[in-house]
């Protein structure tokens, strides 16, 4: 457990300190991963984020909170078929950078990039396959799929977007 905590803290420091650059095209509900190294290349992990409608509507989480981001990388999952306005609205709400929002994630405390990506993808009925992510199982063990406060975030975002409070 101590190693998981240390790895999680290192992931946070790595995301905050390292810039990731690559080109990627995005579509509604896409999840991406970008490898990055920390500690002078000794540890390699995957950073994840999701996009709604192109590079101007992508979300990632950093130690300063959730920020708009398009860091390139490999597309892992897409939604299939058209997305509804309420799905897109819910995904945006779950990427809130407002500290008073029930969806705000405090990096390394209530979640990390993998949990933020899952929150966005949940609107489309998907979540990350942690088998495909370097560091994914440490994230899953520490924070679960959606991080702390997920039920409140989900219900609040659903109601605000005209959805049933118990929708995914």
Encoding tokens for residue 22?
Answer: 């690559």
pLDDT score for 26: 40
Please enumerate in sequence order all residues whose Cβ is within 8 A of that of 24, keeping only pairs 6 or more positions apart, or say none: 32, 55, 70, 72, 73, 74, 75
What secondary structure, in 3-state letters, does 36-65 show? EEECCCCEEEEEEEEECCCHHHEEEEECCE
pLDDT score for 100: 87
pTM of the model: 0.76
Q: How far, in Å, CA of 115 to CA of 67, rounded?
A: 14
pLDDT score for 71: 67
Per-residue pLDDT of the chain (168 residues; tens, 9 = 90+): 555 544 444 444 333 333 232 333 345 777 888 877 666 667 888 888 888 875 567 888 765 566 666 667 788 877 655 678 898 899 889 987 778 889 988 888 999 888 988 998 898 888 888 888 888 999 999 999 999 999 999 999 999 999 999 998
Under 8 Å between Cβ of 87 and 41: no
pLDDT score for 151: 96
Longest dimension (CA), the chain: 47
């Amino acid at each position: 457990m101590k190693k998981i905590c240390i790895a999680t803290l290192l992931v946070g420091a790595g995301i905050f300190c390292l810039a990731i650059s690559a080109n990627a095209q995005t579509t509604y509900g896409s999840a991406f991963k970008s490898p990055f190294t920390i500690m002078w290349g000794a540890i390699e992990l995957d950073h994840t984020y999701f996009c709604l409608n192109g590079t101007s509507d992508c979300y990632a989480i950093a130690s300063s909170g959730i920020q708009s981001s398009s860091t390139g990388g490999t597309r892992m999952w897409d939604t299939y078929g058209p997305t509804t306005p309420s799905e897109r609205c819910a995904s945006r709400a779950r990427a809130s950078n407002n500290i008073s929002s029930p969806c705000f994630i405090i990096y390394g405390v209530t979640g990390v990039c993998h949990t933020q990506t899952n929150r966005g993808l949940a609107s489309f009925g998907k979540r990350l396959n942690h088998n495909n992510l370097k560091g994914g199982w440490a994230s899953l063990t520490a924070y679960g799929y959606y991080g702390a406060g997920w039920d409140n975030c989900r219900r609040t975002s659903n109601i605000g977007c005209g959805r049933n409070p118990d929708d995914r």
